[in-house]
Amino acid sequence: MIKSKVSSTFQDAGALYDFMGHAPLEHDKKNNLSFVNLGYWHGLSAFAKGHLPRSNHALFNLVCRNAKLSAKDDFVADIGCGFGNAAVLCATDYDCPNVVGINISQYQIDQSIEKVASHNLQHRVEIKNMSATDLQFDDNSVDKMVCVEAAFHFDSRVHFFKEAFRTLKPGGILSMSDMVFNKPRKAVHKMILSRLQDGLYIPSANIYGFHDYMVKIREAGFVIMDARNITTLVRPYFRRWALTHPVSLVINRNFSWVMSTIGFIVYPWEYMYLVAVKP
């Protein structure tokens, strides 16, 4: 059954990422980059060395490019900024002068601040401890908003949509990628989902499919510019990567947590990207 309580293991998604922060899926020691996202694998191979970081970078670029970022954007917000990779990308590759990345994982916040400093971007990128469902931004103040693979954790995603709409300027763009968990029909999927909700902090309010996703963002007031199901460019590739890198999935991790989340490899989740504008 779908859990009524989000998680008996973690207080919130921040606690989840504090717990697993020291063990990212892959770490680039040369450039001091950590990666926890599933990636966008267009033109990449799940079996080639270094392609998980490349797929992650491609995912960040997909979301940032869809936001039409530029130096003209006075205020760009990165919601659920992870290790700060996308926030730094906004400032470097897209020349955004003022980027604020928010997160509720103190471990990731600390890592993001270090990353920003290592790029000497303190004057352009700020990392804050802030909830996506209670944005401490003024009404109509944000030019562009990006959110990479984080909204499925938000309690709830609809509350985030409302906050995004409130804080974006008229004409402002929300660009995001997200995992989609449909309501399970098979008994085995119901059992797996219950464990995943606990281990990955997935609120029951976020268990719905692609069509309902579109309905909910329109109800928040947005006009959808583009929305695509890109599961075929994410799920099979990540699964192949995971099956060929089993140590990366379990090293330095709690055994009971691994056992509760291993079903993620077989559960039929979907993946999408969305670009919406505030009229």
User: What 3-state DSSP class applies to 91?
Assistant: helix
**Mean of the per-residue pLDDT values for the chain?**
93
Closest CA to 122 of 131, 132, 114, 130: 114
Percent of the chain exceeding pLDDT 70 equals: 95
Q: What is the mean pLDDT of residues 187-205?
A: 96
Beta carbons of 209 and 269 less than 8 angstroms apart: no
pLDDT at 31 over 70: no
Reported as half-sphere exposure (CB side, CA atoms, 13 A), residue 145 has a value of 32
CA distance 11 to 106: 13
> Which pLDDT does position 26 carry in this prediction?
81
Beta carbons of 14 and 103 less than 8 angstroms apart: yes
Q: What is the mean pLDDT of residues 228-243?
A: 96
Fold of 21-181+206-257+268-277: Rossmann fold (3.40.50)
> Which pLDDT does position 21 carry in this prediction?
76
Q: What is the mean pLDDT of residues 236-263?
A: 82
pLDDT 10s digits, 50-85: 899 999 999 999 999 999 999 999 999 999 999 999
pLDDT at 102 over 80: yes
For the entire predicted model, the pTM comes to 0.95
CA 202-258-16 angle, to 5 degrees, is 40
Q: In the chain, what are the domain boundaries?
A: 21-181+206-257+268-277
Q: What are phi and psi of 11, to 5 degrees?
A: -70, -35
pLDDT at 2 over 50: no
> Which pLDDT does position 5 carry in this prediction?
64
Residue, of 121 and 50, whose pLDDT is higher: 121
Beta carbons of 19 and 130 less than 8 angstroms apart: no
Amino acid making up residue 102: I
